[in-house]
Amino acid sequence: MKKYRVAIVGLGRMASTIDDEVKDSLSDWVPYSIASSCQVIESAELIAGADILPEKREAFKQRWGVKALYEDYLEMIDKEKPDLVAICTRGELHAEMGTRVAEAGVPMIYLEKAIACSMREADMLLNACREHKTLLNTGVLRRFNRQYHKARQLIESGKIGQVRAIAHYGATNLLHGHIHSVDTIMYLLGDTMAKSVWGELLPRSTKIENNRLDNDPSSIYQIEFDGGVEAYTINAGNWDFEVWGTAGSIRATDNGIGWFIRKPNPDKKNTIMDIPFPECEGPSATVACLEDLINAHEEGRQTIGNIEVTHHATEICLAIAESHIQGKRVDVPISNRDLYIWHV
């Protein structure tokens, strides 16, 4: 079996330590960090890391035994020749770093979310990945979770009839948080394209001056997709999702811990009964994400969370802010490519 050389840029939480936070509450998601996931993927070998902070480089060395550590990530790529680079830095750096890694000839990139702060940046990354035939997945990991994967299969098989609407329940910020909800909605709907978006930033008094906002505000939205399906976010809840069809619904509760199929009760009019959700087996979402990158590379196909998909999800999020500016529903794609929303 071929071993693919993996290097990480940004040696903090997602790169190394997040397993310590989630091992009790989200045990099904462990291994969660990039480093711990590489330990269980037979075809992946963690060979190098880069961070501008020497204390993070030292902590990473002590935890994972990686000796090839750099301050400059481009120097690391030049000297270590990785096959896959995981970029786990701050949001404002994602698009530029992703572009430069693609231009350096690295065939596979894991890029933390959101991929950009503006559509100008997202367009730059999209073009770089297309030009250099770089495969990309991002850190919107519900797309790679086995229960969400099963839910999409059930929806596609017609288990709940024709899909009419989908809702997300949970208060969160726009680019760091709602990139997850938007991407999950897209995934459950089979990655159909959005036609238009209505949104507001919270508080509603939020003003964007000079086409730039240097914080990541809370937000609400309604999205119209091709085919007439509509999606909503409710600014409360515990990261629940529910997909409604003409013959029932599928609901995920408590951030994906509980799953239910809800169908009309044939024995009692106007009531709903819960049907057990099928048992699901498979790796953690991070492992599945990295394995998908490697398998796509070997099979000559696109990844599940490819650059086209994540570019569109980013556009939907920025369309929410553009709708807030204009005070009306906006069509996708948006014309304002320079609207900039900073996020961590």
- Render pLDDT for 143-157 as a digit per residue (tens, 0 to 9): 999 999 999 999 999
Question: Same domain, yes or no, for 162 and 274?
Answer: yes
Domain count, the chain: 2
- Given this model, what pLDDT does residue 269 score? 85
Residues 126, 183, single domain; the answer is no
Calculate the dihedral angle through the C-alpha atoms of 210, 212, 213, 216, rounding to the nearest 10 degrees.
160
Backbone angles phi, psi at 284, to 5 degrees: -65, 165
Least confidently predicted of 17-26, 175-184, 197-206, 269-278: 17-26
Mean pLDDT of 45-59: 98
Cβ–Cβ < 8 Å for 201, 194: no
Both 96 and 187 in a single domain? no
State the average pLDDT over residues 22-48: 91
Q: Which amino acid is at 131?
A: E
Element (H, E) at 242: strand 240-245
**Residue 182: domain span:** 145-281+312-341
H or E stretch covering 130? helix 119-132
Report pLDDT for 197. 98
Task: Give residue 25's pLDDT band: very low, low, confident or very high (50, 70, 90).
Answer: confident
Q: Are 186 and 56 part of one and the same domain? A: no
Claim to verify: residue 186 and residue 330 sit in the same structural domain:
yes
* DSSP category for residue 11: -
Residues 95 and 182 in one domain: no
- Six-digit token string for 330: 């906006």
Sequence-distant (≥ 6) Cβ neighbours of residue 70 within 8 angstroms: 48, 49, 50, 57, 76, 79
pLDDT surpasses 80 at 291: yes
The rounded Cα 303 to chain-centroid distance in angstroms is 13
Model pLDDT for residues 247-288, shown as the tens digit of each residue: 999 999 999 999 999 999 988 888 899 999 999 999 999 999
User: Do 231 and 331 share a domain, yes or no?
Assistant: yes
Question: pTM value?
Answer: 0.97
On whether both 167 and 198 belong to a single domain, the answer is: yes
- The residues pairing with 157 across neighbouring beta strands, listed in sequence order, are none
Residues 269 and 295 in one domain: no
Same domain, 170 and 136: no
In terms of domains, do 121 and 235 share one? no
Kindly tell me the sign of the dihedral angle through the C-alpha atoms of 217, 234, 259, 156. negative
pLDDT digit string, tens, across residues 35-46: 999 999 999 999
Which among 147, 146, 175, 151 is positioned nearest to 163, based on CA atoms? Answer: 151
Please count the other Cβ atoms lying within 10 Å of the Cβ belonging to residue 94. 26
| Domain of residue 204, CATH code | 3.30.360.10
122 and 270 in a single domain? The answer is: no
CATH of the domain at 91: 3.40.50.720
